[in-house]
Chains A and B, each alone.
Chain A
Amino acid sequence: MSTITKKEARDGIFPSSDVMLDLKDLKKVYPTPKGDYVVLEDLNLQIKKEEFVTIIGHSGCGKTTMLSMIAGLNPISGGSISVLSKHIKGPGPDRGVIFQSPSLMPWMTSLQNVMLGVNQVFPDATKKEREDVAKYYLQKVGLEDAFYKKASELSQGMQQRVGIARAFAIKPKVLLLDEPFGMLDSLTRGELQDILIEIWNKEKITAVMITHDVDEAIFLADRVVMMTSGPSAKIGDVLDINFERPRTRKSVLEHDDYYTYRKHLIDFLEH
């Protein structure tokens, strides 16, 4: 197994002007009656501009904790997180989140759900302009016929499409995805992966995505980050995926390196 994962090796591997997201000595501790429980410790990770990184690891290792700390929804116990060299302070629309459950407001239409964020980010634009932005992204995710449908009337897959549109429409600097397709059946999951990667190819927003699915991790990512099991989880290994973009599922599956990558990840997870 490769050993380039030590802190010294990861630090400063990119020129600092290229770094979008920087996690330094990140630590998360939950106090319990029996003493502190350390979820994450000495976690160091740098993510480049326009990079798509997937994070893979066993359940309960602290992946979601890390992502919600980046989103600003979970306080940091030690170390720092910065976006474009600026420390983050709480949540904000510069980091868009696609949650595991679609988390749409069920009493709003899909358009209203997307507009909720757009209104917030572009307060100076006219209503028409804001609506055009929301509609553009809803079209991109294939919901041009469902602008005025209540979110509660949409299927789980359709709801997650609205979730994707909502996240892209606020034009974040970083996109955080917390197992967004984990609750979907495999057919819908494939469809949504295609939609996600299609929009991403166009927008090139730096993305960090948690997944359980090894194939998904390889198909979408420029790098796959493997986390060790907790407690005190850290980065265990990093795998560069050198497929050219834009990719298709077929070209990826037929690529000679695909099974090498796959084996590498599965070896890590079964280790």
Chain B
Amino acid sequence: MKASLTLGKVTNFLGLGFFITLKDLFTGKLEKEEFKNFLRKTIVPLVSILLFIGLWHLGAKSLYNIEAKFKIEKALQDQGQVAADALKTCMVSGESSCQPNTLPSPSQVWNSFQSLLRDHNIISADKAAFIEKTAAMNEKRVAAGKAAIVYTGRPSFVDQVFTSLQTVFAGFLLALLIAVPLGIFIGLSPNLKSAFNWFIQIFKPVSPVVWYLLVFMIVKTLLIGSTEDSSFTISFISVGLCSMWATLVNTAMGVSTVDKDYINVAKVLKLGTFQKIFKVVLPSSLPLIFTGLKITLSVAWMVLIAIELLAQSPGLGLFVWEEFQNGANDSNAKIIVAMFAIGIIGFLLDRLMLMIQNWVSFDKTDAI
């Protein structure tokens, strides 16, 4: 199927249709009836976002006041009037050391976001300089059969995001490689289905934390004596095992509920088992398999944070945990930045899956 890629098609595909109305607004192509649509699709979400930020600002402000009042009263009781007054002036002056520790306001979060980006720029400049500096030396070392010197500095926030994405994709791939073939076998054979049913029912609701511990027990023993850092292995396997169930169940269901008409056609034409699976059963269950994979990816991203946190494996989860432990005055704001990063990336991953699903699926109306 050849289709020309236009901006309209791409944005509709991504569910970002409002971009196109925005474009039409600026190029003056907007019809009168489309204006209502434009209102609903662009203005209403914008207003709701502004409203959300406003409410957040007010909420953060009142929490700040509660916390400040409590601190000042405590100082008054414990240390007397002078100390309380000093604390009050310190707070008003904006000095960071005496700020009450509570929900950060939108502007604080925005500042933290920018400082994290600055931090990233500094770190990557540092890294580039390091690589340049060691390039000549490393060449010699490699030539002499020694290991190259690698940069071991602190990862930036952006680096953490990419590490998390790597973990999620490794886990997702593992889930896909286990759940899809297994789901096909279970769907095809009623015997396998009853053999695996109890197994699925029991393990499906197990929490990510327990999966992590289970994987930890096994991997720790398997990698005994190895000096490699196993935290990445442990976390991606845990992510995969946690998230594979939706795909497993959906694949098995898709395969076992292929339209009877198709099966009859396969029978009348006497297709072999192999042909029947690859030409009839699999293509017809693709929409369900993809629905499962979509759930798997979003579950993988959701449990990732908890698992990274436990496994001490680098990534967003560890970032959040370290900031929480750190307790610096902008730590809370950084945690909120991480929260938005997690949410937005999760949304983009979902869109990506939807795009792939639309692309491979025969039934264009099926995808939601």
Q: Which residues of A pack against B, CB within 8 Å? A: 71-73, 90-93, 95-97, 99, 101, 103, 105-108, 116-117, 120-121, 150, 152, 170
Closest B residue to A121 using CB positions = B269
**In the bound complex, do residue B261 and residue A99 qualify as a contact, i.e. CB atoms below 8 Å apart?**
yes
- Give the distance in Å from the alpha carbon of A81 to the alpha carbon of B279 in the complex: 30
* CB-based closest 5 A-B pairs: A107-B362, A103-B261, A91-B267, A107-B283, A117-B269
Indicate which residue in A92, A106, A116, A120 contacts B362 across the interface (CB closer than 8 Å): A106
A150-B1, A150-B362, A152-B362 are known contacts. Are A105 and B267 too (CB-CB below 8 A)? Answer: no
**In the bound complex, do residue B268 and residue A71 qualify as a contact, i.e. CB atoms below 8 Å apart?**
yes
Q: Is B32 an interface residue (CB 8 A)?
A: no
**In the bound complex, do residue A93 and residue B268 qualify as a contact, i.e. CB atoms below 8 Å apart?**
yes
- Give the distance in Å from the alpha carbon of A152 to the alpha carbon of B363 in the complex: 8
A182 CB to nearest B CB, Å: 14
Chain A residues closer than 8 Å to B271, beta-carbon distance: 116, 120
- Please list 29 pairs of residues, one from A and one from B, whose beta carbons are closer than 8 Å in the complex, sorted by A's number: A72-B268, A73-B264, A73-B267, A91-B267, A91-B268, A91-B270, A92-B270, A93-B268, A93-B269, A99-B265, A101-B261, A103-B259, A103-B261, A103-B262, A103-B264, A105-B262, A105-B284, A106-B362, A106-B363, A107-B283, A107-B286, A116-B265, A116-B271, A116-B279, A120-B271, A121-B269, A150-B1, A152-B363, A170-B269
Q: Is B280 an interface residue (CB 8 A)?
A: yes
Please report whether the interface of chain B is mostly helix, strand, loop or mixed according to DSSP: helix
Chain B residues closer than 8 Å to A170, beta-carbon distance: 269
B215 CB to nearest A CB, Å: 38
- Give the distance in Å from the alpha carbon of A96 to the alpha carbon of B269 in the complex: 8
A105-B279, A105-B280, A116-B279 are known contacts. Are A92 and B1 too (CB-CB below 8 A)? Answer: no
- B242-273 with Cβ < 8 A to chain A: 259, 261-262, 264-265, 267-271
With contacts A72-B267, A97-B264, A152-B364 known, what are 8 further pairs, Cβ within 8 A?
Answer: A72-B268, A91-B264, A95-B268, A103-B259, A105-B279, A105-B280, A107-B284, A121-B269
- Give the distance in Å from the alpha carbon of A97 to the alpha carbon of B265 in the complex: 8
A106-B362, A106-B363, A152-B362 are known contacts. Are A97 and B1 too (CB-CB below 8 A)? Answer: no
B363 CB to nearest A CB, Å: 7
Chain A residues closer than 8 Å to B364, beta-carbon distance: 152
**In the bound complex, do residue B268 and residue A73 qualify as a contact, i.e. CB atoms below 8 Å apart?**
yes
- Give the distance in Å from the alpha carbon of A170 to the alpha carbon of B264 in the complex: 16
- Give the distance in Å from the alpha carbon of A188 to the alpha carbon of B264 in the complex: 25
Number of A-B contacts (CB under 8 A): 57
Chain A residues closer than 8 Å to B286, beta-carbon distance: 107
A121 CB to nearest B CB, Å: 8
Please report whether the interface of chain A is mostly helix, strand, loop or mixed according to DSSP: loop
- Give the distance in Å from the alpha carbon of A270 to the alpha carbon of B336 in the complex: 77
Chain B residues closer than 8 Å to A121, beta-carbon distance: 269
**In the bound complex, do residue A96 and residue B279 qualify as a contact, i.e. CB atoms below 8 Å apart?**
no
Closest B residue to A109 using CB positions = B1
B276 CB to nearest A CB, Å: 11
Q: Which residues of B pack against A, CB within 8 Å? A: 1, 259, 261-262, 264-265, 267-271, 279-280, 283-284, 286, 362-364
- Give the distance in Å from the alpha carbon of A48 to the alpha carbon of B283 in the complex: 40
- Give the distance in Å from the alpha carbon of A76 to the alpha carbon of B270 in the complex: 19
Closest A residue to B1 using CB positions = A150
Indicate which residue in A93, A97, A99, A107 contacts B270 across the interface (CB closer than 8 Å): A93
Indicate which residue in B265, B268, B283 contacts A92 across the interface (CB closer than 8 Å): B268
**In the bound complex, do residue B264 and residue A120 qualify as a contact, i.e. CB atoms below 8 Å apart?**
no
Chain A residues closer than 8 Å to B363, beta-carbon distance: 106, 152
- Give the distance in Å from the alpha carbon of A96 to the alpha carbon of B268 in the complex: 7
- Give the distance in Å from the alpha carbon of A121 to the alpha carbon of B284 in the complex: 23
B259 CB to nearest A CB, Å: 8
Which of A93, A99, A106, A107 counts the most B-chain CB atoms under 10 A from its CB?
Answer: A107
Chain A residues closer than 8 Å to B1, beta-carbon distance: 150
- Give the distance in Å from the alpha carbon of A73 to the alpha carbon of B260 in the complex: 11
Which of B259, B264, B268, B279 counts the most A-chain CB atoms under 10 A from its CB?
Answer: B268
- Give the distance in Å from the alpha carbon of A72 to the alpha carbon of B269 in the complex: 11
**In the bound complex, do residue A97 and residue B284 qualify as a contact, i.e. CB atoms below 8 Å apart?**
no
Chain A residues closer than 8 Å to B362, beta-carbon distance: 106-107, 150, 152
Chain B residues closer than 8 Å to A92, beta-carbon distance: 268, 270
**In the bound complex, do residue A105 and residue B264 qualify as a contact, i.e. CB atoms below 8 Å apart?**
no
Chain A residues closer than 8 Å to B262, beta-carbon distance: 103, 105
B211 CB to nearest A CB, Å: 36
Closest B residue to A172 using CB positions = B268
Which of A90, A103, A170 counts the most B-chain CB atoms under 10 A from its CB?
Answer: A103
B332 CB to nearest A CB, Å: 51
Chain A residues closer than 8 Å to B280, beta-carbon distance: 105
- Give the distance in Å from the alpha carbon of A71 to the alpha carbon of B286 in the complex: 29
B258 CB to nearest A CB, Å: 11
Closest A residue to B286 using CB positions = A107
- Give the distance in Å from the alpha carbon of A103 to the alpha carbon of B269 in the complex: 13
Chain B residues closer than 8 Å to A90, beta-carbon distance: 267
Chain B residues closer than 8 Å to A107, beta-carbon distance: 283-284, 286, 362
- Give the distance in Å from the alpha carbon of A116 to the alpha carbon of B266 in the complex: 9
A165 CB to nearest B CB, Å: 14
Closest B residue to A92 using CB positions = B270
- Give the distance in Å from the alpha carbon of A121 to the alpha carbon of B271 in the complex: 10
A160 CB to nearest B CB, Å: 13
Closest A residue to B283 using CB positions = A107
Closest A residue to B264 using CB positions = A73
